[in-house]
Amino acid sequence: MTVVTQTAQEIIEYAKQTNEPDWFTTLRLQADQAVAELALPNFQKINYRSWPINVTQRPEVNEEPIELTELATQQANIVQLGSQLLQADLPAEFKEKGVIVCDWLTALKEHADLVQKYFMTKATKPTENRLNAEHVAHLTSGLLIYVPKNVVLKQPLTSYFFQDARQSRDYVHHLLLIADRGSELSYLENTGTYGQQECPANIIEEVIAEPGSHIKFASVDRLGEHTTAYLNRRGYLEQDARIDWSMGMMNDGNIVGDFDSELVGAGSHAEVKVVAISTGQQVQGIDTRVTNYGQHSLGNILQHGVILAESSLIFNGIGHIVHGAKGAEAQQESRVLMLSTKARGDANPILLIDDNDVVAGHAASVGRVDEQKMYYLMSRGIDQATAERLVIRGFLGPVLSALPSKEVRDILAEMIERKLINGQKDE
């Protein structure tokens, strides 16, 4: 006799309410069954296991409605609040060229072939770790983006994903972005929190770059103070594909960022740029990995972060060149600037080299504000708080200037200024 657990029964009831395909419900149930046997992912020096980061609540369909005008923005093509799609305004170019952009339930029903082929089959796996399995079992929100073969999009796609924290509910969100052979896309993502309740967030984003494709992926993450989050971004790059990652970690709560790029194809290329600011008592642990499988593949990691008050920021940079990746190159730089004696910063470079005829290097530093620079600025009549912000801007400048999009640079510059001002108030 088969015993159906309470969680499994809740999954089955949710699937009936949403009329999702049987194959996906089966995937959920398999993931739920594996949860108890799986370990949490391990990240060096990121001590998060005691955090309320696990998602356990039943998947829910009905959410309190909201007026579109509260969260809508003219700058966005897609706006989602929890699982609600509030705005979908795609450029005419996308429709003309057969680009698919739709919410998760629509993707399951109308584009099952794409979801079955790519959903957690290449970039990551449902049972890779416990958080992945919980994600699959409880997934309620998401977006599918598909760019057909040889389609080059001139206009960027901009999305806003808001966690609905008006009530204490789990936020489980998935992005599946697929650039088919020879296609090009610029994508700007904004994540945020609407409401003040304490909630966990489990977000997994898969970016699949088929041969010869090019994806510019930029994000500004602003999850709320009461949100404990697992943010997992995975890139899977085929031959001669390229992903340019530009990520601004401006969150206010505790977060683990797991950013991996797998350079599977020969000549594949990943550029990973991360800017982070930690304030108050928050902890941001960012684990960034590039794995070179393909010959002559190239992976670069550039991470700069600032910590204030009693906060913590941990950068792990991992470059792994596997056996057989002849001619591959892996470079990384992680630097942390501390503005408080009570803050904690770590920059951990890790190189794993399993072959010859490769190039690899790293740089890492953790330090305080240059007193001479501060003295110079303050001697010219600038107050201490403003002088600190000027020094920080100079410190983050090399990463910001390397971002490919002026729009992203401007958004991040504004967010950095706002978070620094708020952070200085906490000192």
Give the pLDDT confidence score for residue 193 in this predicted structure: 95
Separation between Cα atoms, residue 86 and residue 163, nearest integer Å: 13
Longest CA pairwise span in the chain (Å): 80
User: For the chain, what percentages of helix, strand and coil (3-state, to nearest 5) are there?
Assistant: 25, 40, 35
Residue 198 in tokens? 């304490």
**Partners of 304 in beta bridges:** 275, 335
Window from 53-67, 92-106, 125-139 with minimum mean pLDDT: 53-67
**Dihedral sign, Cα of residue 210, residue 213, residue 214, residue 220:** negative
For residue 379, pLDDT over 90 is answered with no
Separation between Cα atoms, residue 423 and residue 297, nearest integer Å: 40
Give the pLDDT confidence score for residue 3 in this predicted structure: 42
- Among 124, 121, 134, 137, which residue's Cα sits nearest to residue 24? 137
Separation between Cα atoms, residue 144 and residue 337, nearest integer Å: 37
For the chain, percent of residues with pLDDT exceeding 70: 94
Give the pLDDT confidence score for residue 127 in this predicted structure: 96
For residue 304, pLDDT over 90 is answered with yes
Tell me the whole-structure pTM to 2 decimals. 0.94
For residue 405, pLDDT over 90 is answered with no
Residue 331 in tokens? 């470079």
Q: For 64-116, write each residue's pLDDT tens digit.
A: 666 655 666 667 899 999 998 988 999 999 999 999 999 999 999 999 999 99
Average the pLDDT over 14-38 and give the result.
Answer: 95
The radius of gyration of the chain's CA atoms, rounded to the nearest angstrom, is 21
List all residues 6 or more positions away from 54 whose beta carbon is below 8 Å from its beta carbon.
Answer: 130, 131, 134, 200
Q: Could you write out the DSSP letters of every residue in 350-376?
A: EEEE-SSS-EEEEEEEEEE--HHHHHH
Separation between Cα atoms, residue 412 and residue 196, nearest integer Å: 23
Mean pLDDT of the chain: 91
Separation between Cα atoms, residue 169 and residue 199, nearest integer Å: 6
